[in-house]
Structures are given as C-alpha cells and as structure tokens.
Amino acid sequence: MAKFSAPIAAAMKKYSADEVLPFHTPGHKQGRGAHELLRELLTAEGFRQEVSLMEELDDLHEPHSCIKEAQELAAKLWQADECLFMVNGTTSAVQAMIFGTLKAGDLIMIPRNAHRSVISGLILSGAVPIFLPVEFDAELNLPLNVSLKTIELAIKKFPQAKALLLVSPNYYGVAADLEKISEVVHAAGMILLVDEAHGAHLTFCNELPKSAIESGADLAAQSTHKILGSLTQTSMLLLKKKFSERVKLAASLLQTTSPNQLLLASLDIARLQMEVDGWKKISEAVGLSKKLRAEIKKFHGLKTFDAVKNFSLDLTKVTVNVSGLGLSGQEAEEILRGDLKIQCELSDATNLLFLITFADSEETIEKLIAALKLLPRREPKKNLSSFVSEEISLAELSPRETFYAPVEVVELKKSVGRICAEEITFYPPGIPLLMPGEKISAQVVEAIRREKSFRVIGASDKTLSTIKVVR
C-alpha cells in the first residue's frame, strides 16, 4: 500500500480517464443525461466518476481490491482490527453491531436515551433490552451519560446479559469512562458495543476522551461525516477480528447493493485527510473551542462548561446555556438563524449546541462570539424540573415482539400495568420516559400527567390523554 494514498478515489479517477463509452448504470451515463439542476450540484468530473459495480471499482459486499485496501488503511489509522465502510448511515452501522453479535432472546444493556437505530437493531436481532438510567445535570439541564456504578449494579442484577451498548460521547460531548467500563464488562463475559457517532475525531487529540476502540470496546460505530470530512450518510464500523464473520454478514444484509461510489470515495479521502494532518487539524479545532468557551464565560447571562464530574468531555462540542438571558434554547436558535445568519447544531429547552471542527477558523469563531453578544434579554423563565427514571429495568417484551404485536389505544390513566407500544420522551430532559416493550408504572403515568406542558416526542397522541399499548 502506498503511503498517503486514497485507493478508492484513485480507482475511480483511473476509470474516468479511460473514457469508456458506458452502456451501464447509472442512467445519466456519466452526466450526459443529467438535468441542468443536477449538473449544478456536481462537477463534470464528479459525474464521470459517479459509476458503480465495475470490476475495477471493487464490490462493497465482497471487497478484494481498492475498497479492501481503503478499509484496511482506515482500520490501521483508527487502531481497530477491521473497518467496514457504511453508506447507509451510522444507523446501519449500529444495527449491524447489534444484529451481528446478538440473537433472539439475548439480553443487552442500553441507556434510556439510545438512538432510535438501537431499537431498530433490537427489532432485527430479537434481543431484549435492559434499560439503564442516564445521569442528568439539573443545573446544566442536560443528560450526561451512564455511570460506572450503574453498570456494575446492572451486571449484578442481570449477570446473564450478553452485551452492553453505550452512546459515548453523547450529542453534548459527554463521554462515559469507557476504559474502566470495558474492564468491568469483559470481566463479566459481556461484549462492549459503542455508538460513537459523535466521536470519529477523538483518536487525533490527547486533550479529548479516548476513542472507544482505544478504550477496549469490541465494536464502535462512527459517523465520519459528522465531525470529519466525508459526505453525509457515510460512516465506519470498527471491530475486533473475532466478531468479523457475523458482523460482515449483518452489514451486507443492511447495506444497499448499489453503493454510491462518491460516498465510498469520500470515506477514503476523509481517512487520507486525517492520516496526513489529522492531529494538527483536530488540535486546532480544540484550541478554537477553548477560545470560544473563554469568551462565553465573560458574557452575563450565558454559561458553558468544560468539565463534568465523573465524566470526560469532548471540548469541540460547545454547549451554551441561555436561560440566564430569559430565553429558551429554541428562541435563541431562531434569533441566531433568522436575524444573525448563524445556525447551531441543536437547541433544547435551555441550551444551544455548537460544533467546532477543523473547518472553523479564528474568523468563524469571532463571528459566532459577536452573534452571541447580540442575543436579547427577556424576563426570566420559570425553572424547569423533569422526572428522570433512576431504575435499571428489563423490558417486558422485546422490541421485536412489540413491533409485531397488535396494539390498542387506551386512556393514559388506565394504562398502568400495560405494556407500552410507543416511545414517550419529554424535552427536557430528552431521556425517554417510556420505551416500546416496557411495563407502564403508576409513577410514570403520574410523571406524564404532571409534565404534559413539556415538548413531547414519539407519542401518537401529543396531548397524552391516550397512549398506545400492546393488546
């Protein structure tokens, strides 16, 4: 393998340079038939290289040449035994992790705020979730992560569990103590799966939490496009060799048989970019985030944080609490986007989240700082308080059984003791109060009744007067 090469990109360029007359897919035939609006989106060279399934461009499902070489280069860089390129998003990578390591009836521990891809992975595999409580910071008004203590308690309660899946770092950059958790999990004979969608850059800076694979995880799914330089929808699944056969089969079942070559090339090139100067680029992004945090701390009414007790933090995720201005996060986002042309990554009831990447500069940070200074002051809002489950609980039905079960709609007050058939999540805190397959308790019903004024996600009846349950 040539040093600092991009095998997939090189193969595509060579195919284009051959000037072959195409009588194959795609139908636009290297751009000749593309509509003018589509031609505005891609360069002429991009169209010439937007082909697939040619022998010299390899096969994602049975890689033997350029894709195989590119995946091996990525595995080496991210310190994994193997790497699978994913073009159906990190959703398919998370699904493949679960589907490729567990079977129907296996118990898996998952945090209550796991991404919906985890539930779909459980539907595919038939595994049964054990829901773990997520620590919540009332002052910052945001979810943190699952503590080592919680995991140790869960293992004692459910020693028959086969796996633990964590989201680390989470959307706000809060990372679990994966090194210690890995030791505990493996000592119990379990496997450790990590949804590391927001952590593809961690490998390249010692000031950030250690990556999942470096910390001992068996498999980790990364959204390469979120922080690094590949195209949206592209991800990598990193794994230890002993899980290779089944996980590769699962990934093949879940991915398209017509992968877009431009997406694959973007993964290859993103890896090349990090291999050449990833350490420099990510370190510079961390430096910029530190500057931003320091400036925010000077603003009356705004708060941010650079440390979280018992957890580590990805400094490139800058959370700004705006409640001191009398604004909600959503109101602040609307002002920044509509009036000041600044778009955050997300807003919640009290916070804004900004992602600082290697694409940022002193200039972009200065513009963001200037915009934050212009946020208005309003009357302080009432402090928000939310019910957060602290129980470690086993689902009554697996997500697969719940998915196929007949359901009915009942009044909320009559749902106690029934099995929930939908997800109920309040913002704040953004941690699901009920998940499909869980038995509904009187305590949860009371919490739902009390917190109806909060924004709700997942419920078919937004008024929460009724709820879907298994018949």
Which CATH number goes with the domain that contains 465? 3.90.100.10
Query: Three-state SS for 4?
Result: coil
Model pLDDT, residue 456: 84
Mean pLDDT, range 102-127, rounded to an integer: 95
**pLDDT above 60 for 2:** no
Q: How far apart, in whole angstroms, are the C-alpha atoms of residue 461 and residue 466? A: 6
**Average pLDDT rounded to a whole number, residues 73-94:** 97
Domain count, the chain: 4
Q: Does residue 73 fall inside a structural domain?
A: yes
In a domain, 203, yes or no: yes
Mean pLDDT of the chain: 94
The last residue of a domain, from among 276, 294, 310: 276
Average pLDDT value for residue range 445-471: 86
Is the model more confident about 386 or about 1? Answer: 386
Instruction: Assess whether 109 and 246 both reside in one domain.
Output: yes
Q: Give yes or no: residues 200 and 262 share one domain.
A: yes
Range 117-123 average pLDDT: 95
- Please check whether residue 60 is in contact with residue 5, taking contact to mean a CB–CB distance below 8 angstroms: no
- Report pLDDT digits (tens) over 139-167: 888 899 999 999 999 999 999 999 999 99
Check residue 426 and give its pLDDT. Answer: 82
Domain assignment present for residue 390? The answer is no
Asked if 311 and 175 count as a contact pair (C-beta separation under 8 A), the reply is yes
231 vs 58: CA distance, rounded Å: 20
Domain with 320 in it: 278-373
**Is 304's pLDDT higher than 70?**
yes
Tens of pLDDT along 316-362? 999 999 999 999 999 999 999 999 999 999 998 899 999 999 999 99
Which of 259, 276, 293 represents a domain boundary (last residue)? 276
Task: List the one residue out of 389, 464, 456, 398 whose CA is nearest residue 427.
Answer: 456
The mean pLDDT value for 444-465 works out to: 83
Counting beta carbons within 10 angstroms of the beta carbon of residue 286, is it exposed (0 to 12), middle (13 to 18) or buried (19 or more)?
A: buried
Residues 464 and 342 in one domain: no
Check whether residue 287 and residue 272 sit in a common domain. no
Shared-domain flag, residues 121 and 251: yes
Based on the fold, state whether residues 170 and 101 are members of the same structural domain: yes
Q: Is residue 381 part of a domain?
A: no
Judgement on whether residues 42 and 85 belong to the same structural domain of the protein: no
pLDDT for 195? 97
CATH assignment at residue 365: 3.90.1150.10
Q: Which of 373, 403, 433 is at the close of a domain?
A: 373
- Residue 4 binned pLDDT confidence (cut-offs 50, 70, 90): confident
Answer yes or no: is 388 within a domain: no
**Residue 22 shares a structural domain with residue 88:** no
Q: What DSSP letter does each residue of 196-257 carry, written as one string?
A: -TT-TTGGG-TTSPPPTTTTT-SEEEE-HHHHSSSPTT-EEEEE-GGGHHHHHHHHHHHS-S
Q: What is the pTM of this model?
A: 0.93
Q: What percent of the chain has pLDDT over 70?
A: 97
Residues 50 and 62 both lie in one domain? no
Can you give the pLDDT at residue 449? 84
CATH number for position 93: 3.40.640.10
Residue 1 above 80 pLDDT?
no
Q: How far apart are CA 312 and CA 306, in angstroms?
A: 9
Q: Which of 46, 15, 79, 16 lies closest to 271 in space, CA to CA?
A: 79
Quick check: bond before 399 cis, omega within 30? no
357 and 246 in a single domain? The answer is no
